[in-house]
Structure 1
């Protein structure tokens, strides 16, 4: 794939603040995820600041251990307009290593009761060896639209 990002947009019939609250709650991320890789949140605190780290228990059949943990660092937090994070792994010394990809949600209010949500997966900062190891994007084309539909359903239930 020649591009380094994929994005999809969906209009959700809810205010931006309602949608943003779901995204800032890591306990909802497993339900939002369209791949089934995200299992549950380890850190349950709401996302409130850039630099905050939240961990997620993951599963992928092609991962060497099957079960693993991602340590995501919030890179963008502009409530209720944008939220994004970089997935990483914790090192043995307690540091974080990032692979060069990010997830970002941009929310554009369309009046008081609708929000246009754009989900972007960006791997432009992935190194050559990382690009060789992973095939980007590592999921099918249905993943992003499914995730936005799940987000809309969860937000509607709040």
Structure 2
């Protein structure tokens, strides 16, 4: 791993198809968000690279930039059914920053090994000194995986 990317892993007791369905649903992103920034979402579940949906955000949850409430468009950049979902965002900052978020899913003995990653290695140079990266800490990705597990696991 580079200093401009991190990833965390967790095994969850649900099949890859169940996890992937949650990740493809815009409301699923809101349901498992640990940052508190994702407030709601509009759009249909994604099915291919290039699909998009809108997320209504509240930056006050991070208390790092005075952005308040705003919308971002999630743009799918990788889509492999039951295996990988990756996206970037377009929002109030233009051109887009070009940071990437994603999940890789692998079948595991108990269900699915889920890897969540955040990669800011491709961001526009003009933003490197204006925005503190990473925007989301590694601990937030780990916490989101805990919420994902709680959401998809059958008790």
Give the TM-score normalised by structure 1: 0.87
After alignment, is 11-20 or 127-136 more displaced?
Answer: 127-136
Unpaired stretches in structure 1, ≥5 consecutive residues: none
Unpaired stretches in structure 2, ≥5 consecutive residues: none
Cα distance per residue 1:53-91 (max 9 Å; x no partner): 111000012444400000111011111000111111278
1:147 is aligned to 2:144 = yes
Instruction: Verify the 8 A CA contact 2:7 2:138 in the aligned structure 1.
Output: no
Partners of 1:32 and 1:131 in 2: how far apart?
28
Structure 1 residue 50: Cα displacement: 0.7
The Cα RMSD (Å) is 2.0
Which runs of structure 1 show a deviation greater than 2 angstroms over 4 or more consecutive aligned residues?
61-65
Q: Which residue of 2 aligns with 1:130?
A: 127
Q: Which residue of 2 aligns with 1:116?
A: 113
**Count of residues in Structure 1 that have an aligned counterpart in Structure 2:** 151
Partners of 1:65 and 1:20 in 2: how far apart?
31
Structure 1 pair 78/141, CA: closer, same or farther in 2 (3 Å)?
Answer: closer
Q: 1:77 aligns with which of 71, 76, 79?
A: 79
Give the TM-score normalised by structure 2: 0.89
Structure 1 residue 146: Cα displacement: 0.4
Structure 1 residue 157: Cα displacement: 5.7
Cα distance per residue 1:12-68 (max 9 Å; x no partner): 11110011111011112112111101110022x111111011110000124444000
